[in-house]
Structure 1
Amino acid sequence: MTKYSLKFPNDFILGAASSAWQTEGWSGKKDGQDSYIDAWYKNDRKVWHNGYGPAVATDFYNRYVEDIDLMKVVGLTHYRSSINWSRFMLDYEQGIVDEEYANYVEQVIDTMLANGIEPMFCLEHYELPAYLLDKYGGWSSLEVVDMFVNYAREVFRRYGSKVKHWFTFNEPIVVQTRVFLDAIRYPYEQDTNKWMVWNHAKNLATAKIVKAYREGGYEGKIGVVLNPEVTYPRSSALHDRRAAEIYDLFYNRVFLDPAIKGEYPEQLLTLLKGNGIDFEPSAEELAIIKNNTVDFIGANLYYPHRVKAPEAEWPRDVPFHPKKYFSVFELPGREMNFSRGWEIDPAIVYDMAMRIKNDYGNIEWILSENGMGIENEVQFKDENGQIQDDYRIDFISRHLYHLLRAIEDGANCKGYMLWSFTDNVSPMNAFKNRYGLVEIDLEDNRNRRVKKSGYWYKELSESRCLIFDQDSEYR
């Protein structure tokens, strides 16, 4: 069969991603350093699959040297993680740093660089200090925004000369959407007004940190990792297209537009006001957002989102929720990852790339997360104990095919970051669905074993070329 290939650009990143709380564990963590995630786990452990959570995670804190060696084995050029704000400080209000944790971060950075792997860091990956949530209401308070900016300044001062890719947040919309819109995560409070207050606070924090980074004169880039859901209407009918447009406003453009264009969409502001959402940012805040847009973005892309016109009128006695304007549509015959319950449609990568090119000035970006979580992967072990995850190789290849097509068509995408390097803990699902190039064996002291996909990823990184069959479904 005839083979075809697509080459990666010379400066293209092939890396992987994770976060501090999903890997480090609690070794060395002191009293009063709980994050929002830690507090959730302590208060509601029953919702975490089999009771696993951030307490041990993958024990990266103690095993980072071993893991960085494995990063070389699987061919990573870059690794994206986070610095755990809740652990970096001993006193958030006074800005007193935990030097033990800060030294650990520096050792991780130095070890990665010594091994030819570029570190990329988020300043917050769901790691809001629980103390600030309890005392100030978290991102409801502008004091918390200022504390976050001060923390960022200290991080840049210490590591800004070594780390060249920074992100303010990972998926800044997620926590408040799960808590205040859908009320499916601790502390289970439905409050759409608070949801928008948190959105704005994070947009403002991003702009203030961008300003601080540039004032520091650091030789790197500062951005934000978003999770834009590539949204399709059920049909070409006006009512379905309007449902998709409104979904996009509430879940995508609420962060895309301020980060890149420096302003909120007028349509979104009109809808919020018309539904009684008390959102009135100051002129000063809006000016800060306007004047401090990001250098680049990360886009986490896993699955498409499909909507249709709402099936029923929104109940008058129920507080406003964006679901007033849409209903979820499940495409008949769709390809599924049944472990995760997500549709698989690799073409979302191309469509998102073209949107960034056409609607957002072709800003530089990376595909900062993409991957396939599979339950009970041990069933795919061969006689030597290696997981034969051909499904993951296929998933990555198909998405990379569409990404490379988009680059050929002018998309300004600079890299692909797989989720994830090793299996790790996820909110509620814990270790249920495995995403890694490297297995974490919970039955054997969390020992690591490279999966088939890990060695394949190494070959991909070295060849800088995606090879596929003429008749493959990529085309």
Structure 2
Amino acid sequence: MSIKILRIPDNFILGAAASAWQTEGWSGKKPGQDSYLDAWYQNDRHVWHNGYGPAGATDFINRYKEDVALMKAAGLTHYRTSINWSRFLTDYENVVVDEEYAQYYDNLIDEMQRQGIELMLCLEHYELPAVLLEQYGGWGSKKVVELYVRYAEQVFARYAHKVTRWFTFNEPIVVQTRVYLDALRWPYEQNTHKWMQWNHHKNLATAKVVKLFRDKGYTGTVGTILNPEVTYPRSSAPHDVKAAQMYDLFYNRVFLDPAIKGEYPAELIALLQQHEVQWDYTAEELKLIAQYRVDEVGINLYYPHRVKAPSRAWHPDTPFHPAYYYDHFELPGRRMNKSRGWEIQPQIIYDMAMRIKNEYGNVPWFVAESGMGIENEAQFKNAEGEIQDDYRIAFIAEHLYQTLRAREDGANCHGYMLWAFTDNVSPMNAFKNRYGLIEIDLDNQRQRRMKKSAGWYRQLRDSRQLTLTIDDEWK
């Protein structure tokens, strides 16, 4: 055991993140403005924990002034959220802005500037308009790519003079992986072809939005928020190492490489062809992706992914799935967040940082999400009703330590952002696992209360110093 004291640079982000659909609620939402998440919830409500979903969320749209004040009290330097595409427009084909919703964002931006917190905005956080999924097949359609770019054009025209850090997507691989690759979410269709088409069109959309932003001469940057899973092989044996490389190729490099290097891995394209995965792309689209790469990348990091070589034969009638090349592996004795079922391994941040430094030209990046969701946090309240979430403080400290250590070793990492600022609704889990610095009391009109971690985070920001006891087993 040893004590470590690390200086937090003055320009280093200490923020938190959320999304529009997970916080705003449906207040003021007009007919026809459903997002994919709204449609899923309406068609499949029983899979959401206790029936909670985006309808109520945290009612941020009506309580943003109260919440921005809490952001300041908790010491946030930055806050990342999204603009809900499905609500920003009333007509997606003709790109007609919903002035009521747009004015809410005008007000939010002004309030955050008054409180001295920098707002970072994402253009799509699973908020594809449901009607575009129904009419065009969502991101499977090039028409949707063009409608998204036209939406982005309207957003930039309205807010780019106030907001300077933009992101095209949050975790762009997630929806199609859950729906079309694994068929775990509504509308439940296993279709590897659609999965890869969605991947490509989101990469293409990112390049087109970067081009739009630069062509218009706006001040600021355009990045993307990715969730590559730091992947470890079961062993050093070649067959296990190969399994980890294949998992990384299909789930991580499919977005990392186009965003940062401007190209798909040649091995990925060859394997998709070998397995007869059909996806439509053109030489002109690949040229756009090559030319218009992002300015920075946010990386969401929660847990490691461990794999081993596959131990079973693939049934000849089963359509291709990347799991053809790997099996999941659970490390015996691993540290666990038992509420979420996720392994805790802070080393993933350092390892990802070194990978970006060594394999991706040390591009500017930051930890865009890192956090710990715990079930039934009310059991940890003290006599005054404050949740004593020392487990969250320890989690943040360990992961922030790895972030700062990586920066000291040359990583071009500009910050650490917590998921999440408040407790909020998540897909299927709803409010089951709580992630926030701020408690949302669903039984008492969504009353807000600061948890112990909020005061600790404020102290961290004020002192610009991280002090913790290091266990040599995980340092």
TM-score, normalised by the number of residues in structure 2: 0.99
Q: CA deviation at 1:469?
A: 2.9
Change (3 A) 1:128 1:293: same
2:45 is matched with 45
Q: In structure 2, the residue corresponding to 1:21 is in which secondary structure?
A: helix
Mapped to 2, the partners of 1:454 and 1:472 lie a distance apart of 27
1:71 is matched with 71
Asked if 2 retains the 8 angstrom alpha-carbon contact of 1:310 and 1:324, the reply is yes
What are the residue-to-residue correspondences of 1:144-223 with 2, within 5 Å? 144-223=144-223
What are the residue-to-residue correspondences of 1:306-317 with 2, within 5 Å? 306-317=306-317
The aligned amino acid for 2:188 is Y
2:352 is matched with 352
Q: In structure 2, the residue corresponding to 1:307 is in which secondary structure?
A: strand
Q: In structure 1, the residue corresponding to 2:39 is in which secondary structure?
A: helix
Q: CA deviation at 1:313?
A: 1.3
1:285 is matched with 285
Asked if 1 retains the 8 angstrom alpha-carbon contact of 2:347 and 2:474, the reply is no
Mapped to 1, the partners of 2:226 and 2:9 lie a distance apart of 23
Q: CA deviation at 1:472?
A: 6.9
Mapped to 2, the partners of 1:438 and 1:192 lie a distance apart of 39
Q: In structure 2, the residue corresponding to 1:163 is in which secondary structure?
A: coil
Mapped to 2, the partners of 1:105 and 1:162 lie a distance apart of 11
After superposition, the C-alpha distances for 1:191-249 in whole angstroms (9 at most, x for unaligned) are 00000000000000000000001112111110000001000000111100110000000
1:328 is matched with 328
The question of 1:343 aligning with 2:343 is answered yes
After superposition, the C-alpha distances for 1:320-368 in whole angstroms (9 at most, x for unaligned) are 1000000001001000001000000000000000000000000000100
Mapped to 1, the partners of 2:474 and 2:14 lie a distance apart of 20
Percentage identity across aligned positions? 67
Mapped to 1, the partners of 2:303 and 2:466 lie a distance apart of 22
Q: In structure 1, the residue corresponding to 2:123 is in which secondary structure?
A: strand
The question of 1:248 aligning with 2:248 is answered yes
After superposition, the C-alpha distances for 1:394-433 in whole angstroms (9 at most, x for unaligned) are 0000001111110000000001110000000000000000
After superposition, the C-alpha distances for 1:66-108 in whole angstroms (9 at most, x for unaligned) are 0000001100000000000000000000011100000001111
What are the residue-to-residue correspondences of 1:95-174 with 2, within 5 Å? 95-174=95-174
The aligned amino acid for 2:233 is P
Q: CA deviation at 1:148?
A: 0.3
Mapped to 2, the partners of 1:312 and 1:422 lie a distance apart of 43
Mapped to 2, the partners of 1:400 and 1:235 lie a distance apart of 28
Q: CA deviation at 1:279?
A: 2.6
1:83 is matched with 83
Q: CA deviation at 1:114?
A: 0.8
The question of 1:418 aligning with 2:413 is answered no
Mapped to 2, the partners of 1:104 and 1:167 lie a distance apart of 20
Mapped to 2, the partners of 1:121 and 1:280 lie a distance apart of 30
Mapped to 2, the partners of 1:37 and 1:453 lie a distance apart of 30
Q: In structure 1, the residue corresponding to 2:307 is in which secondary structure?
A: strand
The aligned amino acid for 2:24 is E
The question of 1:382 aligning with 2:382 is answered yes
Asked if 2 retains the 8 angstrom alpha-carbon contact of 1:152 and 1:209, the reply is yes
Mapped to 1, the partners of 2:473 and 2:378 lie a distance apart of 27
After superposition, the C-alpha distances for 1:47-77 in whole angstroms (9 at most, x for unaligned) are 0000000001000000000000000110000
Mapped to 2, the partners of 1:471 and 1:55 lie a distance apart of 43
Mapped to 2, the partners of 1:470 and 1:265 lie a distance apart of 38
Mapped to 2, the partners of 1:303 and 1:13 lie a distance apart of 21
Mapped to 2, the partners of 1:222 and 1:141 lie a distance apart of 23
Q: CA deviation at 1:281?
A: 1.2
Asked if 1 retains the 8 angstrom alpha-carbon contact of 2:349 and 2:399, the reply is yes
2:267 is matched with 267
Q: CA deviation at 1:4?
A: 3.1
Q: In structure 1, the residue corresponding to 2:20 is in which secondary structure?
A: coil
2:399 is matched with 399
Asked if 2 retains the 8 angstrom alpha-carbon contact of 1:19 and 1:125, the reply is yes
Q: In structure 1, the residue corresponding to 2:252 is in which secondary structure?
A: helix
Q: Which runs of 5+ in 2 are unaligned?
A: none
RMSD: 1.0
Mapped to 1, the partners of 2:470 and 2:116 lie a distance apart of 35
Q: In structure 1, the residue corresponding to 2:232 is in which secondary structure?
A: strand
Asked if 2 retains the 8 angstrom alpha-carbon contact of 1:273 and 1:279, the reply is no
Q: In structure 2, the residue corresponding to 1:4 is in which secondary structure?
A: strand
Mapped to 2, the partners of 1:218 and 1:344 lie a distance apart of 40
1:225 is matched with 225
The question of 1:35 aligning with 2:35 is answered yes
List structure 1 runs of 4+ shifted beyond 2 angstroms. 1-4, 469-475
Mapped to 2, the partners of 1:172 and 1:439 lie a distance apart of 28
Q: CA deviation at 1:11?
A: 1.0
The aligned amino acid for 2:227 is N
1:54 is matched with 54
Q: In structure 1, the residue corresponding to 2:224 is in which secondary structure?
A: strand
Mapped to 1, the partners of 2:294 and 2:46 lie a distance apart of 39
After superposition, the C-alpha distances for 1:87-144 in whole angstroms (9 at most, x for unaligned) are 0000000011100000001111110011000000100000000000000000111110
Change (3 A) 1:203 1:239: same
Q: Which runs of 5+ in 1 are unaligned?
A: none
2:304 is matched with 304
1:430 is matched with 430
Alignment: residue pair count: 475
Change (3 A) 1:248 1:159: same
Q: In structure 1, the residue corresponding to 2:21 is in which secondary structure?
A: coil
Mapped to 2, the partners of 1:220 and 1:16 lie a distance apart of 20
The aligned amino acid for 1:334 is R
Q: In structure 2, the residue corresponding to 1:22 is in which secondary structure?
A: helix
2:461 is matched with 461
Q: CA deviation at 1:2?
A: 7.4
